[in-house]
Amino acid sequence: MELCSGDFLHALRDTVRLPDGALTTREYVVHPGAVMVVPMLEGLSGELLLVMERQFRYPLNRVMIEFPAGKLDAGESSFHCAQRELKEETGYRATSWAHAGLLHPVIAYSTEFIDIWFARGLHPGEQHLDQGEFLDVFTATPDELMRWCRDGLVTDAKTLTAALWLQNVLSGAWQLNWKDIP
Amino acid sequence: MELCSGDFLHALRDTVRLPDGALTTREYVVHPGAVMVVPMLEGLSGELLLVMERQFRYPLNRVMIEFPAGKLDAGESSFHCAQRELKEETGYRATSWAHAGLLHPVIAYSTEFIDIWFARGLHPGEQHLDQGEFLDVFTATPDELMRWCRDGLVTDAKTLTAALWLQNVLSGAWQLNWKDIP
């Protein structure tokens, strides 16, 4: 049953039977899914720089440090969305991509998943932000990112999850399967 | 303005002015905040075991592997909530606690934050699950947890964030400030 239908937020209320036979309701946001991109840039001395964003997030009334991310369009593949969002939000196109994993941001009350992509071989271009989208693009070293996670400057769950992936990829504990695209 | 008001889910729609002067709406879930606990148990040979849960999550229609967590009651402190949820969900009481950090699971459309606590000095007791709450408690080694994160068996964002904290605490890169309680 429809619980609410906003311009952006859609929620359902279902009646469900629990393992003990009792009936109850479950209320949750219906979400098309999203992607996040960890864009890896080579600095002037060959060092690794991460392309990140500062974006004001209204529900929290603060500027958040994040990796580029965005919702899937209807019928869009996760990979296409990753390429599109990276280009729109940062201007970069990447020649090499790896799918890392998946996260579910809020399992208690949303169907949302976020597919995690790594991108490298970055070529700069022009941003094309959505109407009403405002964000600053900047670069950070992996050490800076880890320090910000530790010190509470990064609290966005998807970006913290990206930090877990990045740390284990850079240490060699976890492998990525890179694919070059034309 | 109220967008929806369910038994569990409450959402608002605000009219906001963007940096370019245009008016738009922002829709978001209003949430009281929550806690997560990383409970550290000493195994028979002194090895570290993590107390975790398997819980069916209706919005995703699957069983998720998670650390114990729960919502703040009205007026409840984060620390009290952490002690209460650990006891209710797993039966354990802890004699030593450390506050790690904070995460925001879904910055685009919820005010929710999750405070991250570590607990050790665990003493078993009786579970007191909420009505309609069903979950299995089990233990895992840190290596198992990291493997599950890598292989996609753990996709819950709060639990992935806990894994980031745990990995850095165990390596000594990040320090926790443990406090004993009577």
A16-26 tens-digit pLDDT: 998 888 999 99
pLDDT tens for B111-148 read 999 999 999 999 999 888 888 788 899 999 999 999 99
Q: Which of A18, A106, A164 sits opposite B163 (nearest CB)?
A: A164
Q: Average model confidence (pLDDT) for chain B? A: 96
Taking an 8 Å cut-off on Cβ atoms, the answer to whether A107 and B64 are in contact is yes
- Min Cα distance B115 → chain A (Å) is 10
Q: Tell which residue, B31, B52, B55, B35, has the closest CA to residue B133.
A: B55
Q: Whole-angstrom Cα distance, residue B97 to residue B94?
A: 7
- Residue A133, pLDDT above cutoff 90: no
Which ipTM score applies to this complex? 0.96
Q: Tell which residue, A93, A100, A179, A90, has the closest CA to residue A133.
A: A90
Backbone torsions φ then ψ of A152, nearest 5 degrees: 85, 15
Query: Can you give the pLDDT at residue A182?
Result: 78
CA A141 distance to own-chain centroid:
18
Contact B130/A at CB under 8 A? no
3-state secondary structure of B172: coil
Whole-prediction pTM: 0.97
- Candidate from A90-104, B28-42, B129-143 with smallest mean pLDDT: B129-143
Taking an 8 Å cut-off on Cβ atoms, the answer to whether B60 and A111 are in contact is yes
Q: Average model confidence (pLDDT) for chain A? A: 96
What does the DSSP 8-state code read for residue B132? T
Total CB pairs under 8 A between chain A and B = 180
